[in-house]
Structure 1
Amino acid sequence: MKITFIGGAQSVTGSCYLFELEEKKFLVDCGMFQGGLTEELLNYESFPFNPSEIEFVILSHAHIDHSGRIPKLYKDGFRGVIFATDATMDLCSIMLPDSAHIQENEIEWKNRKRKREGKEQLLPLYTLEDAENVLKHFRGVKYGQKIQIDKNLSFIFKDAGHMLGSAIVELYIKENDKEYKLVFSGDLGNRNVPILKDPAIIDGCDYLFIESTYGNRLHVDVENKSKKLIDIISTTISNGGKVIIPSFAVGRTQEILYEIAKEISTDSAEAKIIRNVEIFVDSPLATSATTIYKKHIDYFDAEAAMFIKNGIYPLEPPNLKFIKSVDESKWLNEYDKSCIIISSSGMCEAGRIKHHLKHNLWNEKNTVLFVGYQAPNTLGRKILDGQKKVKIFGEEVEVKAKIEYIEAYSGHADKGGLFSWIEQMSEKPKKIFVVHGEKEVQLEFAKELQNQFNTDVIVPARGEMYEIAPEYVAPSERLFSELPPFINLSVLAQIEEIEYELDRLKEGIKNSTISSERLFALNSNLEELRYLLSLVLNDY
């Protein structure tokens, strides 16, 4: 059997793994690359295989970095089955059309500008019709249900504890009358998180593919994350400010609502403060997702189930309002009272959160609270890294609001959680593949895994192919080269960053905020840059 790492290899997004077993081809996940321009352009690359030859997709969970290119797969010829848990299937029924809507809107905006410039019109990555059509190919699977593809291939889903319906994939392969087992952790959740059950413990496996988002660090102050959340909210409200929470519409938003509802049900001083302000969820997707959560309360953990048994639905505090229309969202930008605004996207790259940041970042009374991972090059990462000014919708906005981050709300297990999960396996893997993480993190994590479990650890790069058999793993020829396309994309991304910095520089020169000494130094550097550019351009 051969496996090729299409995405989620030395990167946190774009998870996609191609399997070739005899004449059969299938995928585990088919996610979208997220981040800056480089990642955006990667989504438009042709698949390095014929989508019509893919028989089926095993989807670990609904997050767009794992599911987001499935409509493109359909658009390019795929007509097979997508296996997913029932909850994942229901969540994809809202998330994939939402993603398509974003693709169409962004291309429409770009095309208006391109039309004015006399440039060729662009096509969206996929359309709403593509997303709706591919949903007909989903098949719901229960946790623990064995799906027998043929005599040599079967799989089982186990609860990953990452989001509603998220799954660990146990893949059973038979070759030359020998059976071996591969396990994909998917995105592995933390223990003791709101609403969700803990990740399932796996008996063991021959080969493990493990995510590594937080593979080199521990979540800080996990035991006090709920208290910290409530303290940040109540303090900001007491000071007359707003709390803006960029949050993933599915998973994180429901966790935050749960924590707030849980606090409000008490008689604490903080509860009284929070009860007196409006809580707005400004995300149609989050609104729909919360409805889907109601449908799948059998996935809830014991504490959440107890709330429901006592007649309390823990995802809808009494002072909650779901914002649905665009007009309501615009009205919220003019709302002048203290409040809590939860809006997507979680990394601030698209959606209504960008409007709320534009209208609230400049006010020092407000707090922007991050409760999830921020990928490199995203607007959220720039704010979190302390950038004093950011560009939103072409306008420079000063960052004066207080910036907070509760890393412990991450849906990903930290280094300790990942190690503990492997330690509890009765049979340790012969080899471990480290996937879904930033390269530096993966290398550090891999070294510690090797030391701890005395086993070979591989950190595959995008495009690398491996031959896997019951007795061995061996590198094979690359299915596609990472270079030069990736270098092209990287250069484009860096040019985009330089253009942004040049815009800031122009404003500084116009407003005379740059000293004469710095201007002389800048002039010299620009002359050198111009010379270097001329050398490159002379080659064309």
Structure 2
Amino acid sequence: MSTLTFLGAVGEVTGSRYLLEVDGENGPHRLLLECGLHQGGADADRANEKPFGKLVKELEAVVLSHGHLDHSGLLPRLVREGYRGPIHCTRGTRDLLEIMLQDAAFVMAKDIEWENKWRSRHDRPLVEALYDLDDVEQTLAQCVSHPYGQPVTLPGGVTLVFRDAGHILGSAIVELNVPSGGQEKHLVFSGDLGNPSSVLMKDPEKLYEADLVLMESTYGDRDHRPLEETLEEFAKVLEEAHADGGNVLIPAFAVGRSQEILYHLSVLYHEGRLRQQLVFLDSPMAIRVTELYHRARKALDPEDLKVLNKAASGDPGQYLPVLRMTRTVEESMAINRIHGGAIIIAGAGMCNGGRIVHHFRYNLEKPATRLVIVGFQAGGTIGRQIVDGAERIRVFGHDLAVKAKVHTIGGFSAHAGQSQLIGWAGAFRNRPRFYLVHGEPETQKVLQAALAESEIEAEIPAYGDRIEL
């Protein structure tokens, strides 16, 4: 009998990893679904440092739903330890991985350099990065990309098909037909399901046949506000910041969220509702991803692109004339001389590093500043501390008072909300087994109860749980 073992993203949102062991004449064929980075504090760091062990030599294939680091960020670590098999993904995911994993390796190297300087001064043992750029290049060389809807044969007679998840560029729902006990079992992994209200992405595909479904539950305890209300709130925050003479800080994920925020700023600009005269995209990775989205626009929602083209009279260069893309450190530092009237979009999205933290030092203690949170903040991150009402935070060895006005605007989420998750789950016929992953424990319990009201039974697995297909 083929089995599935839960090795990550159980009881937490990050660290996605599931081991599929498929019946074979000479022992099981082992396939890894996802290889994500844990995010959020010291516990996450320890989980990331744990070796893969003998699994490295036993694996025959890796399947990846999309390019966000909590789903893909440990791939170079797996490769560094010796994995040389294929990594199956969509073309959009392959293109994003090149940007995201290179950036992750670069940031990691800088962080380790700083850490080891401190350790040297205090006579502590030095530490190594999880992986480096050479590991990333080897990882990219092992990627094999496939279009949506194309069946792919994997070891053990498993058939893989990717479906559009509508979350970010290249994001996929993973369908696996798996031989098990003389039968064929249909396993579906939702990946991260997109929010149909969000712009640029197409709606997630609905599937109807499955024996077992792994479904994300990131926002399983609530629905997002309607997009129109969200945009009105966003516009009001920008107007108030302009009136008070402060800057607007937007910690944004480089993939998906930054591009969506730029879209909405473009529409506001052409409606004459954007008073700020400077918008900075202060993230080299987000800049590269934005350029990739433009090159891959045929994969985006054509109706949303029509809106942009109409607003800018068809000239892509005029989508947002006040936009400045700051690639270098010097350009980023120069922004700190601007004391009001600017919108600064910078990573990291959960405020646990990156350029946004530097902008905190110059803006967070000013009451005129507006801090706009537009994405999920995992437990243990600085962003989560701020959302939970922290009056002070510590960054780069400095204590900062949080005097800026903080606005959490959830309607921009690229994840499906509760009603959308239930609707997606309800499309399946013949009552498959559901397992909730990618969610915090209390959130999962709320979703589990809501699903039960729709006569959909779902289980909440624990780390290390092993189930038969």
The bucket for the TM-score relative to the shorter chain is: over 0.9
1:284 corresponding residue in structure 2: 284
Give the alignment of 1:37-76 within 5 angstroms: 37-47=42-52, 49-76=54-81
Please state if 1:419 is matched with 2:422: yes
Q: What is the TM-score with the length of structure 2 in the denominator? A: 0.95
Maintained 8 Å contact 2:226/2:411: yes
Give the 3-state SS of the residue equivalent to 1:30 in structure 2.
coil
1:29 aligns with 2:34: yes
The answer as to 2:135 corresponding to 1:167 is no
| Dislocated runs of 4+, deviation >6 Å | none
Deviation at 1:358, TM superposition (A): 1.4
Letter in 1 for 2:413: S
Q: 8 Å contact 1:7–1:462 — kept in the other structure? A: yes
How many Å apart are 1:48 and its aligned residue?
Answer: 5.6
Alignment of 1:432 with 2:437, yes or no, is no
Q: 1:300 to 1:314 in 2, by over 3 A?
A: farther
Aligned partners of 1:399, 1:177: CA distance in 2, in Å?
Answer: 60
Deviations 1:500-523 (A, max 9, x none): xxxxxxxxxxxxxxxxxxxxxxxx
Structure 1 unmatched runs, 5+:
469-540
Which residue is equivalent to 1:253? 258
- For 2:417, give the aligned amino acid: D
State the match for 2:301 in structure 1.
301
2:9–2:437 contact (8 Å) kept in structure 1: yes
In structure 2, the partner of 1:325 is: 328
Q: For 2:316, what is the secondary structure of its paired residue?
A: coil
Which residue matches 1:140? 145
- In the TM superposition, what whole-angstrom CA distance separates every residue of 1:43-74 from its partner, at most 9, and x where no partner exists? 00112642122111111011000000000000
Q: Which residue of 1 aligns with 2:136?
A: 131
Q: Residue 491 of structure 1 corresponds to which residue in structure 2?
A: none
Aligned pair partner of 2:382 in 379, 397, 402: 379
Moved more, 330-339 or 183-192: 330-339
| Distance (Å, rounded) in 1 between the aligned partners of 2:456 and 2:340 | 58
Post-superposition shift, 1:313?
Answer: 3.0
- Contact 1:204-1:429 at 8 Å conserved across structures: no
Deviation at 1:448, TM superposition (A): 2.8
1:149 deviates by 1.9
Alpha-carbon distance in structure 2 between the residues aligned to 1:322 and 1:120: 39
CA distance in 1 between partners of 2:37 and 2:317 (Å):
31
Q: Distance in 1 between matches of 2:182 and 2:7?
A: 29
The whole-number CA distance in structure 1 between the counterparts of 2:9 and 2:156 is 29
Query: Equivalent residue for 1:102?
Result: 107
Given that 1:241 and 1:367 are in contact with CA atoms closer than 8 Å, whether structure 2 keeps it comes out as: yes
1:115 aligns with 2:117: no
- AA matched with 1:193: S
Q: Tell me the equivalent position of 2:91.
A: 86
Partner of 1:264: 269
1:258–1:315 contact (8 Å) kept in structure 2: no
Moved more, 147-156 or 400-409: 147-156
C-alpha separation in 1, matches of 2:226 and 2:269: 22
Answer yes or no: is 1:350 the counterpart of 2:353: yes
- SS of the residue corresponding to residue 454 of structure 2 reads helix
Conserved 8 A contact 2:282-2:327: yes
Residues 86-114 of structure 1, C-alpha deviation per residue, up to 9 Å, x if partnerless?
11100000100111112111111111011
CA distance in 1, matches of 2:200, 2:433: 33
TM superposition shift of 1:308: 4.2
Indicate the residue corresponding to 2:461 in structure 1.
Answer: 460
Separation in 1 of the partners of 2:210 and 2:250? 39
CA gap 1:26/1:191 in 2 versus in 1, 3 angstroms: same
Aligned residue identity for 1:88: T
Say if 2:29 and 2:156, in contact at 8 Å, map to a contact too.
no
Q: Distance in 1 between matches of 2:419 and 2:387?
A: 24
Would you say the 8 A contact 2:61–2:154 is kept in 1? no
Q: Please, which runs of 5 or more residues in structure 2 have no aligned partner?
A: none
CA distance in 2 between counterparts of 1:139 and 1:145 reads: 13
User: Are the structure 2 counterparts of residues 64 and 316 from structure 1 closer, same or farther at C-alpha, using a change threshold of 3 Å?
Assistant: farther
Q: Is the 8 A contact 1:261 1:314 kept in 2?
A: no
Offset of 1:424 from its aligned partner?
2.6
When structure 1 is superposed on structure 2, of 128-137 and 60-69 the one drifting more is 128-137
Deviation at 1:180, TM superposition (A): 2.0
Asked whether the 8 Å contact 1:422–1:428 carries over to 2, the reply is no
User: Offset at 1:224?
Assistant: 1.4
How far has the Cα of 1:444 moved from its partner? 2.6
**How many angstroms does 1:339 deviate by?**
0.3
Equivalent residue in structure 2 for 1:191, among 196, 205, 208: 196
Q: Root-mean-square deviation (CA), in Å?
A: 1.6
The question of whether the paired residues in 2 share the 8 Å contact of 1:159 and 1:165 is answered with: yes
State the one-letter code of the partner of 2:412.
Answer: Y
Deviations 1:16-60 (A, max 9, x none): 111111331111110000011111211001126421221111110
Counterpart amino acid of residue 20 in structure 1: E
**Is the CA contact 1:245–1:369 (under 8 Å) kept in the aligned structure 2?**
yes
- Displacement, 1:204? 2.4
1:151 to 1:52, Cα distance in 2 relative to 1, 3 A:
closer
Specify the alignment match of 1:359 in structure 2.
362
TM-score, normalised on structure 1? 0.83
Note if contact 1:104-1:127 (Cα within 8 Å) is conserved in structure 2. yes
Partner AA of 1:69 in structure 2: L
Q: CA deviation at 1:446?
A: 1.9
Q: Secondary structure at the match of 2:416?
A: coil
What is the total number of aligned residue pairs between the two structures? 461
Match of 2:300, as an amino acid?
Answer: F
Give the Å deviation of 1:217: 1.4
The amino acid that maps onto 1:33 is H
- Mapped contact 1:152–1:175 kept (Cα < 8 A): no
Q: What are the within-5 Å matches in structure 2 for residues 195-274 of structure 1?
A: 195-266=200-271, 268=272, 270-271=273-274, 273-274=275-276
1:201-249 deviation line (CA, Å, top 9, x unaligned): 1122111100011111122344311222222112212321100000001
Identity of aligned residues (%): 37
Q: 2:398 aligns with which of 390, 395, 400?
A: 395
Local SS of the residue matching 1:120: coil
Q: Secondary structure at the match of 1:174?
A: strand
Amino acid at match of 2:18: Y
1:370 matched residue in structure 2:
373
Name the structure 2 match of 1:443: 445
